[in-house]
Structure 1
Amino acid sequence: MLQLRHSVARSTLRAVCLASASLWVVGSGALTVRAEAAPVPVVQGAFASDRLSVEVVGDGPDVVLIPGLASSREVWRAEADRLQPTHRVHLVQLAGFAGAPWTHGDGPFVEPVVGDLARYIREAGLERPAVIGHSMGGLSALLLAQGHPGLVGKVMSVDSLPFFSAMFGPQVTPESARPFAAQAAAGILSADEAGFRTHQAQGAIGLARDPATREAIVDWSMATDRRAMATAMSEVMTTDARPGLAAMTTPVWAVYASDADGGAPAAMADAVWGREYAALPGVRLIRVDDARHFIMADRPERFAELVDQFLAD
Structure 2
Amino acid sequence: MFNALSRVRAMLRALSPRKPLTRAQAIAIALAACSPVLAVAAQAFAQTSPAVASAPAPTFASDRLSVVVTGAGPDVILIPGFASSRAVWTATAVRLSATHRVHQVQLAGFAGEPWTHGDGPFVQPVIDALAAYVQQAGLQSPAIIGHSMGGLSAIMLAQQYPDRVGRVMSVDSLPFYSALFGPQVTVEMARPFAAQAAASILTASAPDFLNSQTATAVGMARDPATRTAMVDWSLASDRQAMAAAIRDVMLTDVRPGLATMTVPVWAPYAADADGGAPAALADGLWSREYAALPGVRLIRVDGSRHFIMADQPKRFAEIVDEFLRQP
TM over 0.5: yes
After TM superposition, give the deviation of residue 238 of structure 1 in Å. Answer: 0.6
Letter of the 1:21 counterpart: P
Give the 3 Å change call, closer, same or farther, for CA 223–9 of structure 1 in structure 2.
Answer: closer
Q: Equivalent residue for 2:308?
A: 295
Give the 3 Å change call, closer, same or farther, for CA 77–7 of structure 1 in structure 2.
Answer: farther
Q: Does 1:139 find its partner at 2:152?
A: yes
**Of 65, 68, 76, which residue of structure 2 is paired with 1:52?**
65
After TM superposition, give the deviation of residue 24 of structure 1 in Å. Answer: 2.8
**Of 290, 296, 321, which residue of structure 2 is paired with 1:283?**
296
After TM superposition, give the deviation of residue 167 of structure 1 in Å. Answer: 1.0
Give the 3 Å change call, closer, same or farther, for CA 164–18 of structure 1 in structure 2.
Answer: closer
Determine helix, strand or coil for the equivalent of 2:228: helix
**Of 118, 128, 152, which residue of structure 1 is paired with 2:141?**
128
Q: Equivalent residue for 1:97?
A: 110
Distance in 2 (alpha carbons) for counterparts of 1:131 and 1:21: 28
Figure out how many residues of one structure are paired with residues of the other and give that number. 303
Give the 3 Å change call, closer, same or farther, for CA 161–182 of structure 1 in structure 2.
Answer: same
Letter of the 2:294 counterpart: P
Distance in 2 (alpha carbons) for counterparts of 1:100 and 1:282: 36
**Of 234, 249, 260, which residue of structure 2 is paired with 1:236?**
249
Task: Kindly report which structure 2 residues correspond to 1:16-95, keeping only aligned pairs within 5 A, or say none.
Answer: 19-29=34-44, 31-33=45-47, 44-95=57-108
After TM superposition, give the deviation of residue 22 of structure 1 in Å. Answer: 1.9
Distance in 2 (alpha carbons) for counterparts of 1:143 and 1:150: 13
8 Å CA contact 1:18–1:184 kept in 2: the answer is: no
8 Å CA contact 2:36–2:212 kept in 1: the answer is: no
Q: Could you give the per-residue CA deviations for residues 178-204 of structure 1, whole angstroms, max 9, x where no partner exists? A: 000000000000001111011100110
Distance in 2 (alpha carbons) for counterparts of 1:75 and 1:282: 28
- After TM superposition, the structure 1 stretch with the greater mean CA deviation from structure 2, 19-28 or 228-237, is 19-28
Give the 3 Å change call, closer, same or farther, for CA 139–18 of structure 1 in structure 2.
Answer: closer
Q: Equivalent residue for 2:322?
A: 309
After TM superposition, give the deviation of residue 300 of structure 1 in Å. Answer: 0.2
Determine helix, strand or coil for the equivalent of 2:46: coil
8 Å CA contact 2:303–2:311 kept in 1: the answer is: yes
Q: Does 1:153 find its partner at 2:157?
A: no
Q: Could you give the per-residue CA deviations for residues 128-163 of structure 1, whole angstroms, max 9, x where no partner exists? A: 100000000000000000000000000000000000
Distance in 1 (alpha carbons) for counterparts of 2:95 and 2:156: 27
Distance in 2 (alpha carbons) for counterparts of 1:264 and 1:205: 13
Determine helix, strand or coil for the equivalent of 1:155: strand
Distance in 2 (alpha carbons) for counterparts of 1:291 and 1:45: 35
Q: Equivalent residue for 1:199?
A: 212
Task: Kindly report which structure 2 residues correspond to 1:171-250, keeping only aligned pairs within 5 A, or say none.
Answer: 171-250=184-263
In angstroms, what is the RMSD of aligned CA positions? 2.1
Q: Equivalent residue for 1:109?
A: 122
Letter of the 1:290 counterpart: G
Please report the TM-score for the alignment, with normalisation by the length of structure 1: 0.92
8 Å CA contact 1:174–1:238 kept in 2: the answer is: yes
After TM superposition, give the deviation of residue 28 of structure 1 in Å. Answer: 1.5
Letter of the 1:149 counterpart: P
Please report the TM-score for the alignment, with normalisation by the length of structure 2: 0.89
Distance in 1 (alpha carbons) for counterparts of 2:37 and 2:195: 13
Distance in 1 (alpha carbons) for counterparts of 2:277 and 2:55: 38
8 Å CA contact 2:115–2:238 kept in 1: the answer is: yes
Q: Could you give the per-residue CA deviations for residues 44-82 of structure 1, whole angstroms, max 9, x where no partner exists? A: 322100000000000000000000000000000011000
Q: Does 1:12 find its partner at 2:11?
A: yes
8 Å CA contact 2:35–2:213 kept in 1: the answer is: no
Distance in 2 (alpha carbons) for counterparts of 1:130 and 1:178: 32
Distance in 2 (alpha carbons) for counterparts of 1:247 and 1:149: 11
After TM superposition, give the deviation of residue 18 of structure 1 in Å. Answer: 6.8
Gaps of 5+ in 2: 15-28
Q: Could you give the per-residue CA deviations for residues 11-37 of structure 1, whole angstroms, max 9, x where no partner exists? A: 4237968743323322224x4257xxx
Identity %: 65
Letter of the 2:11 counterpart: T
Task: Select the structure of larger CA radius of gyration.
Answer: 2
